[in-house]
Structure 1
Amino acid sequence: MFGGEDDDEDVQFEDVIIPVPTVQTVYRDSDDEDDDEEDEENEEDIQFEDVDFGALQSVSESHGEPKKLTLNLSAHTDVTALTRKVTVRRKPITKEEKERRVSIHRTHLLCLILHSALRNRWCDDEDVHKSLRPLLTNKVINQLTPGAHLPQFGQTESLKTGLQQAGAIFRAKFQITERGLRRALWAEDPKHLIDYELPSNADSCMDRSDFRKAAKKMQGSRDVGAQLYSVAVRHRRSGVAKTKTARCDLIQHDHDRTSERGGAQKDSRIAISLDPLVTGSIWKPKSFEPPATDKENAMSYVIAFETDGTAKDVTRRYAKAYAAKTRRLRIETATERGDDWWRQALKLFGRRWPTDLDEIEDVELAAIEERESMPRNVADFKDHPVFALKRHLRRSEVLVSEAQPAGSVAAGSKAPLEMVYRRKDVRVARSRDKWHRLGREVKPLEVPVKFLPRRPNARPGDFVDDGYGGDERDAAGTPMFTDDQTEPYRAPPVIDGRVPKNKFGNIEVFVASMVPEGGVHIGDEFDTAARASHMLGIDYAPALTGFQFKGKHGTAVLNGVVVAREFEDAVRAVMDGLGDMEAQAEQSKRALRAIKTWKRFLMGLRIRERIWAGVDSAERAEEGKQLVEEAEGKGSTEDDGVAAGGGFMVDSGNEDGDEPVRDDAQALLEEAASDITEEYEMEDDGGGGGFLLD
């Protein structure tokens, strides 16, 4: 069926020689956005130590008789050294390290959300309800469930009084004996984690049974206490009637003060924030945020869970400065598309169809964010979504000419006032080259909005774009233009099947709109499209779709070709044919490998058959049975003198202590891997190959 082995292996294809395109490279400018962000982060990491100026105060002058003074210059040097502000620069993290930390933060955040969802299910446990039911008296329950005959003010006051009494009862009964969740900090050195151990008083409530025990004993961590109080308030009518809707707002942000607030909603319209263990506050959501000086506690995410398991982000309700401070600690600002990731994460816990109450709550949270006042601290204006200072603008950002100040702020009592502008008046400016990579070009005779300084490592005499369509040697800097100074880029059209090319023999297709009129871009990660175009003898140009940077050096990335539109069907047909030929060649290689494997297997069977030629069927069956038992682990482990190869008796060695005689069956099997023909015949050397002969 098949020819010779060598003929089957060598599948001949005709090689098509394609002109090798010139490798195009670029150099990344220092004004890239990534570099700017890293520079700003490095500046932000500068920390100043507090200096004790009391050590510098001189002793009050004495009006007595003069005394002998001793000058110690070394001590004077030590004291004056304290007067200088010591700048401690932390080692800046790399891009890879930042991505790794963001990935860990996301994983940690998802684990906390699942932890909260699990605790929310435990809050509906019937055994926990039975344990907490005797906690509240009938009087408190009646106050928590005011009758409809009372006016609105009376119902509110009754509910408020009932919550105060319930909090006082729970605070008196519950004992804090363990340590709850705390903020997870980054270790500056991996050696710091070698000897790390969990504290002895860590939270021991790990499963539902532990939660039930905590409800019976009324002791545990602050987290468990807040959850149990949420159960008591959520099911406050368990002895009378079931509530229509109950809600539990959980804070999961690695803290130890309070991990949730039980919130009761009247007709699911008002969220009441309760904290009986730490602050003892009612209806004061802003009091839950810990102080900024608390390193082990930070409120970054506040997730509210309903009794049906749905969840919503309500951080804006509890954060005092969400836009100025809290937002900078969240995943939305850590990456470019962090807000999309956060929405997708919470989508798993949201309702498929939002209700009217959900929309009302969304409007309420948006209004809270809009009512947030202007920051008072200069540092809070950095990356603020509403306000901006000129000092915090990136190198590629400018203010529009008609921007009007929205206020003023000073860095200190003696510092000059700085104008505060709206973030909507900030525009992103880019160079001509960057606009070209976005598929736009600067309009003629446009004046640059700003000039970026030259790169520090730029060589003297280099040409720099002067901003007016030409190059100027030793220019002052790179001109920058805003979006309204550009227009869509129009490449030269394809005429008579000829595709326009640059000096490198390529065509730049950074975006789809850069494909020339009359042409079509055929994407292909390999060179199949180029091979097909070359075989057809039509004009084509490799498509340059971007640059792959390594440091500041970028190498061109080619993806497919650009050909005339009338040749598109022909090129794609040839590409399909080449793909079928490659698939057929791969199938032939797999078939050849299968044939070789079967050939080796059959050759081994033929060799085994020749070895067993002088053995009767009964002995074969006995040997086969023994081999099966040994394979299954049932055979004898002792050495019974039977060799593994063929079942023949092999001498363990001669009387002189020589090495045992080698089993020729094993040797033949090893030689079967070599290139032997099907007409292989064993030679009778008279010795029987080391086997006992009759």
Structure 2
Amino acid sequence: MSNEESFSEDEEDWLDLDLGQPAAIKSKTLFEEQPLDLNTEQNVYLDETIAQQKKSLKKPALRITAADRKIRLQIHQMHLLCLTYHLCIRNLWCNDEALKNLSRIVPPGIKASLHCSSQKSQMIRNKSFQQALVALCEVWKRHFKITRSGLRKPWYGALQNDTLSYEPVSKEDFLKAAKALEGDRDTGSQLFVSLLRSLDVPTRLVFSLQTLSFRFVGASAEGRSPQISTDSPPQDSLEYLFSPSDSSSDSTASKRRRTLKPGFSSSSPVHASPVLEKPQFIDSPKPVFWAEVFNTSMQKWVCIDPFGDASSVGKPSRFEPSSSDTLNQMTYVFAVESSGYMKDVTRRYTSRYYRIMRNRLEMFPFGSDWLNLFLSKLKRPQDIYRDSDAIEDAELLRLEQAEGIPKNIQDLKDHPIFAIERHLRKNEVIDPKKSCGRLSTKKGVELVYPRKYVKLVFSADRWYRKGRVVKPGIQPLKYAKDKAKGTIPLYGEEQTDLYIPKPVVANVVPKNAYGNIDLYTSNMLPYGAYHCTHAFAEKSAKLLEMDYARAVTSFDFHKRISRPHYDGIVVSKKYKEALLQVASGLEWTQEEETHKQNFKMGVQLWKRIISGLRIRQRIMEEYS
């Protein structure tokens, strides 16, 4: 690198710095001479005020709590349900009887090719069907006109600023679009499904659900929309000082600022004559809605985009958007038939299914069960399960199992099948270390291990809270560093045994150093002991003068301080009946006392109401 290049790069970095000057200082001319002020106390006071202004101008740090994550997860689930309902409604509209007139635009030759004679060979029928689909797409693209943008990837910033450009469509608008053959790309794909169904071709409506993500991508990306902005770029601080006016700089000025070239302002700028531009509809190159047609000769579903190229027919890999596409994402892909039965076909259209799984509900422990329960209400019942459904399920399973080791390090993070050591958490370890592949990186060759070999390790105190104790003389699998406790040894589950507490002897409950008993799990209850969770259990034990211990079931952490959580007491089993009888009597006494207090308070309130009514009556009689 030359000296000039390094100098230019340093200048650009220096220009990007925020000097944090107050507005009063920025408004002054750069070379304006200021009188010397010898009043040091006033200077110190000004310095303190400037420092306070700097502190007040600092943006508060964005802290993401567990409640925020839970809210976003619930929003994701609700949005998934709403978009699925949207798909069902549009599929129901596609079955309308008024849309059967769409078949008038199809030439007779295409209709005959779609329903080829069964006497011909399988190869001829398959080729004729594929050619008919390609010809039908060309016919549809000539007749249907796209006039506005369709669904796109939503952002939380766009929702907060109310900048979503998509307008809802009613059934009347849908039928008008079918009559005029114009609308957005999504409506065109849905009407194309209606066209195929009017030709007696089994067709699915496929929808790539553009759900709101449950992840936090940062404050900078949350607040802005991925749409192309037409606003002028922000002014640079130095350009503001040298600028003769407060007007915003144009694109040429921003280019001069980047290239460090001087610019000269003109008092009478020359503007070009306005040109009437046609409105542009920005859509993703990949579709959100498309169709799947059942090929009877091959007994498989063929994907087709009515506005795509002929080469994309039957090629599911052509429908997956790139990771840099800000208008389209592929997370859930649902296909619904004319009968209303739905199926998750995401595995067919994505080449990296385990990568997008990080954005799906399956990454949570409850996610798979929740999603399966939700789809079980919409999928085809088992009693009408067809052979074609079995063939499709086998194909989707094969596609899932055929996905090998990712070649990208980032794709291996949180991968459900493979793992590498650099992505392990503090309480994770690989045991046994039997690798299943290798990956070349800048640091060298890294071994890839099956995810089933990743085990959780905890400290001896954490295992004790799980009802297990570390075996004597065992060596830890891993060491973790803690700021307060230093180096902590971690052990695996196979290095521990179940905790066996001391039994109750002579009706005396074993206690810890604090006079309580640890009862984190059910197996930590001593032999011959009874755990009573009655509200008046401790008070009853004191009245009966029996030996007992308060049960510590967990710890509550608040502001980095742990406090034990007590849940009932532990006594000898011999005292169970007496303890429950006394506790029930105390509870009955407490209820009676509460009833008397409520009755007394009710009488007092009623007396107050009567007194107020008498006073009102007397005032009305005397002054009315």
Q: TM-score range by the shorter chain?
A: 0.7 to 0.9
2:69 aligned with 1:98, yes or no? yes
Moved more, 556-565 or 130-139: 130-139
1:210 aligned onto 2:173: yes
For each residue in 1:74-116, what CA deviation from the matched residue of structure 2 results, as whole angstroms up to 9, or x when unmatched?
Answer: 86742687999xxxxx956333333332222222222212211
Q: CA deviation at 1:183?
A: 1.0
- For residues 301 and 80 of structure 2, the distance between their equivalents in structure 1, rounded to whole angstroms, comes to 24
User: In structure 1, what is the Cα distance between the partners aligned to 2:381 and 2:546?
Assistant: 54
Does the 8 A contact of 1:234 with 1:247 survive in 2? no
Percent identical across equivalent pairs?
A: 31
5+ long unaligned stretches in structure 2: 18-60, 212-282
One-letter amino acid of the structure 1 residue matched with residue 452 of structure 2: K
Is the Cα–Cα contact under 8 Å of residues 102 and 198 in structure 2 kept in the other structure?
no
Q: 1:570 to 1:211 in 2, by over 3 A?
A: farther
Q: 1:367 to 1:600 in 2, by over 3 A?
A: same
| Cα distance in structure 1, aligned partners of 2:421 and 2:523 | 35
Return the alpha-carbon distance in structure 2 between the equivalents of residues 550 and 359 of structure 1: 53
Aligned to 2:204, which of 247, 250, 253? 247
Structure 1 residue aligned with 2:359: 329
* Correspondence 1:183 to 2:153: yes
Conserved? CA contact 1:331–1:338, under 8 Å: yes
**Does the aligned pair in 1 maintain the 2:295–2:302 contact within 8 Å?**
no
Matches within 5 A, 1:133-282: 133-187=103-157, 196-199=162-165, 202-204=166-168, 206-237=169-200, 246-253=203-210, 256=284, 257-266=286-295, 270-280=300-310, 281-282=312-313
**Kindly tell me: are residues 195 and 582 of structure 1, through their superposed partners in 2, closer, same or farther at Cα, counting changes over 3 Å?**
same
Partner deviation per Cα, 1:578-636 (whole Å, 9 max, x = no partner): 4434444444444444444554555566x48xxxxxxxxxxxxxxxxxxxxxxxxxxxx
Unmatched segments (≥5 aa) in structure 1: 1-55, 61-72, 85-89, 238-242, 459-463, 465-475, 609-644, 647-663, 667-687
Distance in 1 (CA, whole Å) between partners of 2:498 and 2:144 is 68
* Conserved 8 A contact 1:131-1:215: no
What is the CA–CA distance in structure 2 between the aligned matches of 1:104 and 1:595, rounded to whole Å? 49
Deviations 1:532-566 (A, max 9, x none): 33333332222211112224322211112222233
Contact 1:541 1:562 in 2 (8 A): yes
Report the residue type matching 2:204 in the other structure.
Answer: R
Q: Deviations over 1:99-151 (max 9, x none)?
A: 33222222222221221122122122222x23423232332222222232223
Residue of structure 2 aligned with 1:441, choices 460, 469, 478: 469
Instruction: Tell me the CA shift for residue 59 of structure 1.
Output: 7.4
153 and 197 in structure 1: CA distance in 2 versus 1, 3 angstrom threshold: same
Quote the Cα distance in structure 1 between the aligned partners of 2:524 and 2:309. Answer: 61
Matched residue, 1:303: 334
Paired residues, what number?
505
Residues in 2 aligned to 1:576 and 1:266: alpha-carbon distance in whole angstroms: 73
Letter in 1 for 2:401: E
| Structure having the higher Rg | 1
Counterpart Cα distance in 1 of 2:161 and 2:427? 46
Q: What secondary structure, in the 3-state scheme, does the structure 2 residue paired with 1:177 have?
A: strand
Give the Cα–Cα distance (whole angstroms) in 2 for the partners of residues 183 and 96 of structure 1.
24
Q: Secondary structure at the match of 2:100?
A: helix
For residues 160 and 251 of structure 1, the distance between their equivalents in structure 2, rounded to whole angstroms, comes to: 23
Alignment match, 1:502: 512
> Is the CA contact (8 Å cut-off) linking 1:410 and 1:416 kept in structure 2?
yes
Task: Name the structure 2 match of 1:315.
Answer: 346
- Give a deviation string over 1:350-384, Cα, whole Å, max 9, x none: 45547544555444322211100211111111111
Amino acid at match of 2:209: Q
The 3-state SS of whatever aligns with 2:563 is strand
Q: What TM-score, normalized by structure 2, do the two folds share?
A: 0.74
Partners of 1:57 and 1:223 in 2: CA distance: 53
- Name the counterpart of 1:132: 102
Matched residue type, 1:104? I
CA shift for structure 1 position 419: 1.2
Distance 1:397 1:265 in 2: 47
Deviations for 1:170-201, whole angstroms, at most 9, x for unmatched residues? 122111111111111243xxxx87754343xx
CA distance in 2, matches of 1:509, 1:497: 18
> 1:231, 1:262 within 8 Å by CA — same for their partners in 2?
no
Is 1:538 matched up with 2:567? no
**2:445 corresponds to:** 417
1:246 and 1:365 map into 2 onto residues whose CA distance is: 19
Alpha-carbon distance between aligned partners in 2 of 1:422 and 1:380, rounded to the nearest angstrom:
14
Q: Is the 8 A contact 1:439 1:510 kept in 2?
A: yes
Change (3 A) 1:58 1:95: same
Partner of residue 11, structure 2: 78
Deviation for aligned residue 1:489: 1.3
The one-letter code of the counterpart of 2:163 is E
Matched letter for residue 372 of structure 2: R
Task: Tell me, yes or no, if the aligned pair for 1:300 and 1:329 is still in contact at 8 Å.
Answer: yes
- 1:114-129 alignment, distance < 5 Å: 114-127=85-98, 129=99
- d(CA) in 1 for partners of 2:583 and 2:337? 56
Instruction: Give 2:438's aligned residue.
Output: 408
TM superposition shift of 1:392: 0.9
Aligned to 2:488, the other structure's residue is in SS state strand
Offset, 1:491: 1.3
Of 515-524 and 346-355, deviating more is 346-355
Q: Deviations over 1:276-297 (max 9, x none)?
A: 2134421111211111111121
| Root-mean-square deviation (Å) | 3.1
Match of 1:571 in 2: 579
Q: Secondary structure at the match of 1:112?
A: helix
Higher helix share: 2
What is the rounded CA distance, in whole Å, between the counterparts of 2:458 and 2:162 in structure 1? 48
CA distance in 2, matches of 1:330, 1:499: 49
Shift of 1:341: 3.0
| SS of 1:264 mapped into structure 2 | strand
Change in CA separation of 1:595 and 1:372 when aligned onto 2, cut-off 3 Å: same
On the 8 A contact 2:100/2:195 being kept in 1, the answer is: no
Q: Distance in 2 between matches of 1:582 and 1:359?
A: 65
For the 8 Å contact 1:234–1:263, the answer to whether it is kept is no
Whole-angstrom distance in 1 between the partners of 2:394 and 2:588: 58
Secondary structure of 1:566 counterpart: helix
**TM-score, with normalisation over the residues of structure 1?**
0.67
| In 2, Cα distance between equivalents of 1:437 and 1:234 | 61
Q: Secondary structure at the match of 1:213?
A: helix
Change (3 A) 1:590 1:185: same
C-alpha distance 139-592 of structure 1, shift in aligned 2 (>3 A): farther
Provide closer, same or farther for how the CA distance between residues 583 and 270 of structure 1 changes in structure 2, counting only shifts above 3 A.
farther
Which whole-Å deviations, capped at 9, do the CAs of 1:644-693 have from their partners, x for residues lacking one?
Answer: x76xxxxxxxxxxxxxxxxx526xxxxxxxxxxxxxxxxxxxxx8446xx
Mapped contact 2:193–2:203 kept (Cα < 8 A): no
Contact 2:154 2:210 in 1 (8 A): no
Name the amino acid aligned to 2:80.
Answer: L
Question: Could you tell me which amino acid in structure 1 is paired with residue 558 of structure 2?
Answer: K
SS of the aligned residue for 1:229 comes to helix
How far, CA to CA, are the matches of 1:294 and 1:235 in structure 2?
Answer: 34
Counterpart secondary structure, 1:272: strand
Say which SS state the counterpart of residue 526 (structure 2) adopts. Answer: coil
Find the residue that maps to 1:265 and give its secondary structure.
strand
CA distance in 2 between partners of 1:279 and 1:253 (Å): 23
Partner secondary structure for residue 520 of structure 1: strand
* CA positional deviation for 1:203: 4.1
Find 2:410's aligned residue among 369, 375, 379. Answer: 379
Mapping of residues 469-484 of structure 1, within 5 Å: 477-484=487-494
Deviation at 1:322, TM superposition (A): 0.7
SS of corresponding position for 2:300: coil
